[in-house]
Structure 1
Amino acid sequence: MPITRDSVAKRAGVSSATVSRVYNKSLAVSSDLRTRVLEAAEELGYKPNSFAATLRRKGTGNLAFVEFSKQGRAYYWGRLDSFDWFFGRALRGIQQVIEYSSYQLRFYSVSKKEELNELALQCDGIIAYDVDTEEELSFLADLPIPVVVSHHLDKVEGIACVRTDNYQGGRLQASYLKSLGCVSPLYVSGYLESVEPHRQRLAGFRSLYPDADLMTTEIGSQDSISELVGKVTRIAHQYDSLAAVNDLTLFSILLNEKLALPSVGYDASPYHALFLSQVASIDLDSGAIYQEAARMLLSLLAGEEKKCVTITPVLVHSQREATTAFSK
């Protein structure tokens, strides 16, 4: 006798509709009910039939992971090889949710509204990766299918979103240095005119260090590294600590000049564990952000309301076993 959704419902003591909501990752299901259903399914050896589910809902059975091309920019962090790990963690977060649903995930790169209109005919929902301009957001508006945007835009209306808090992240950087008794930090950043997250991180940092000196550089440019290191080395004696807009910038300095200064970067990249001194970073956790985005998309497909969720960044030390979250 085949194991069906009704079989799982009977074993778990819930309705068949609850079983469906669990496999579609509905946020309306309590953790207790979810656990009961998944345990019952495992005991019975139940696997959802994605093809049958697609026929029942008269959809395509496909979800789209959409990345914008970001052409014509002087700087975009996602084009740098040193950030490939971030994309990988985001995908893993999505897959951890989608693999237990009845949907298949497909990948697309777009640059125009027309491409999204066409894509909306081929899938049931969209997760949009690193939407960071109002223009990109406008491309996603009014599509006839559910859409979830992530992760840098902080002012989103009418579209479901999962975002980080760059202002709070900058404030966490400052909180770390404050906790060490630092009073005169140097902050290194770049492309402040064109990159809103960089401006937000600096603003958060200066909320606790309003007089912090700022040094700017061309982030990711090999030609600018030696110039940056030279500048920092010449004036390092004026400061008691160092903060940078991302780990890439901080490591460009620390790998070329041994500075005996407490330091804090941003992104918590895998290379962060190489530093065993007083070096910290801010982890915005792309895996958690996009895992939540996938859950939210499935909840929209189940008929739930749009909302925006913020995944708060945390401060981590280079010794990975020590993780500290500040709330100052």
Structure 2
Amino acid sequence: MASIKDVAAAAGVSVATVSRVLNDHPSVSADARTRVLAAVDVLGYRPNAVARSLRTDQTHTLGLVISDVLNPYFAELARSVEEEARALGYSVIIGNADERPDLQDHHVRTLLDRRIDGLLVSPTDGGSPLMLDAARAGTPMVFVDRWIPGVDVPVVRADGRAAIRDLVAHLYGLGHRRLAIIAGPAATTTGSERVEAFRAAMAEYGLPLPDAYTGQGDFQAESGRRVTEGFLDLPEPPEVVFAADNLMALGALDAVRARGLRVPDDLALAAFDDIPWFVHTDPPVTVLAQPTGELGRAAVRALVDRIEGRPPESVTLAARLVVRRSCGEPALHEPSPATNRSQP
């Protein structure tokens, strides 16, 4: 493998001149630059990325800390982040927080120690001192999907409030009046926002949301199963359960089927976040779908803007209601199968 000394010898210049050419320094003459680039091409020389990062203070590497890599939503988000980063000349190192603040901070610390150029985070809660310190220290950072209120960091997210209002209107139009929610963790912005939006939409239609119809989940399937079992044990169970994420919706489905009941005949079900196999369940699940692919791409663009000295902007996209048949809808309303991936 050719070295920088080999390039210098072939071009008839010093090692320092080769280094200046590779780092696009303006002090090199046009003739020397041409000879160096020709030698690089002939010898197939590739700079050592680690050594170069020590000189330029850039690694062209981004860190991504996601809440749960097993959640299909975050898996799709990570894929779109990696694709967009690669298109812009960056690599991505991914850390899975598994919805644990301690594991989240471990990944953030490790990524910062590895001299990443910038950090994308979907926070597991709003109280991480490490993340707050990193933001205040000027670390290029973007929050994606979730955010920490009061921290001056660009946020790329989907606003689900209008879609939740559309869902409640849809359910009301179908004749449902007893609606329940499996909420996400209150410590996360998405968890608190979705339950507040659901409560506000219910109030618009004069529908009560009693405490018994508000179950606390953790964005994991087991909590969806547990909360749904509690709903089914009530003297007057709800007619519809709205799960505030896809994994909790899968847990709710398990609970219904474990009792020999059927969706939507015995309990209707709707979910926040679409996943590819929701169109293949029986019946297909009515969902609020986020533009996951575009969220990931927009987050990378905002972070690269911050890294490269351009003013980054927060981005808010809209979730949308996708009507299928899990809430008692007529079959004629069912759309063609679609996935969560939005088109570029």
TM-score by length of 1: 0.64
Q: Does 1:294 align with 2:300?
A: yes
Aligned residues of 1:164 and 1:284 also touching (Cα < 8 A): yes
Aligned residues of 1:284 and 1:313 also touching (Cα < 8 A): yes
The whole-number CA distance in structure 2 between the counterparts of 1:203 and 1:122 is: 39
Higher RCO (CA 8 Å, separation ≥ 6 residues): 1
How far has the Cα of 1:240 moved from its partner?
Answer: 4.4
Match of 1:102 in 2: 89
The whole-number CA distance in structure 1 between the counterparts of 2:76 and 2:138 is: 29
Question: For 1:77-96, what aligned pairs fall within 5 Å after superposition?
Answer: 78=68, 81=70, 83=71, 85-96=72-83
Q: Does 1:129 align with 2:122?
A: yes
Aligned residues of 1:131 and 1:149 also touching (Cα < 8 A): no
Distance change >3 Å, CA 232–CA 217, structure 1 → 2: farther
Question: For 1:191-206, what aligned pairs fall within 5 Å after superposition?
Answer: 193-206=186-199
How far has the Cα of 1:297 moved from its partner?
Answer: 1.4
Distance change >3 Å, CA 172–CA 156, structure 1 → 2: farther
Q: Does 1:163 align with 2:157?
A: yes
How far has the Cα of 1:308 moved from its partner?
Answer: 1.4
Q: Does 1:65 align with 2:63?
A: yes
Distance change >3 Å, CA 173–CA 152, structure 1 → 2: farther
Q: Deviations over 1:66-112 (max 9, x none)?
A: 427xxxxxxxx727x4x1x2232112111221222232223356655
Match of 1:208 in 2: 201
Match of 1:228 in 2: 228
Distance change >3 Å, CA 207–CA 124, structure 1 → 2: same
Match of 1:151 in 2: 145
The whole-number CA distance in structure 2 between the counterparts of 1:301 and 1:226 is: 44
Aligned residues of 1:154 and 1:163 also touching (Cα < 8 A): no
Instruction: Say what the alpha-carbon RMSD is for the aligned residues.
Output: 3.9
How far has the Cα of 1:184 moved from its partner?
Answer: 0.7
Question: For 1:29-40, what aligned pairs fall within 5 Å after superposition?
Answer: none
The whole-number CA distance in structure 1 between the counterparts of 2:246 and 2:108 is: 34
Aligned residues of 1:62 and 1:123 also touching (Cα < 8 A): yes
Letter in 1 for 2:58: T
How far has the Cα of 1:154 moved from its partner?
Answer: 6.6
Aligned residues of 2:164 and 2:201 also touching (Cα < 8 A): no
Aligned residues of 2:95 and 2:107 also touching (Cα < 8 A): no
Aligned residues of 2:155 and 2:315 also touching (Cα < 8 A): yes
How far has the Cα of 1:229 moved from its partner?
Answer: 3.1
Aligned residues of 1:263 and 1:278 also touching (Cα < 8 A): no
Distance change >3 Å, CA 92–CA 226, structure 1 → 2: closer
Distance change >3 Å, CA 248–CA 305, structure 1 → 2: same
**Helix, strand or coil for the counterpart of 1:60?**
coil
Distance change >3 Å, CA 144–CA 186, structure 1 → 2: closer
| 5+ residue gaps, structure 2 | 1-44, 97-102, 325-333, 339-344
Letter in 1 for 2:90: Y
Match of 1:248 in 2: 247
Query: How many residues of Structure 1 are paired with residues of Structure 2 in the alignment?
Result: 262
Give 1:317's match in structure 2, choosing from 315, 323, 331: 323
Aligned residues of 1:169 and 1:282 also touching (Cα < 8 A): yes
Match of 1:3 in 2: none
**Helix, strand or coil for the counterpart of 2:202?**
coil
Max Rg structure: 2
Identity of aligned residues (%): 15
| 5+ residue gaps, structure 1 | 1-48, 69-76, 324-328
Letter in 2 for 1:294: V
The whole-number CA distance in structure 2 between the counterparts of 1:175 and 1:207 is: 12
Match of 1:11 in 2: none
Aligned residues of 1:59 and 1:123 also touching (Cα < 8 A): no
Q: Deviations over 1:18-53 (max 9, x none)?
A: xxxxxxxxxxxxxxxxxxxxxxxxxxxxxxx99699
Distance change >3 Å, CA 282–CA 205, structure 1 → 2: same
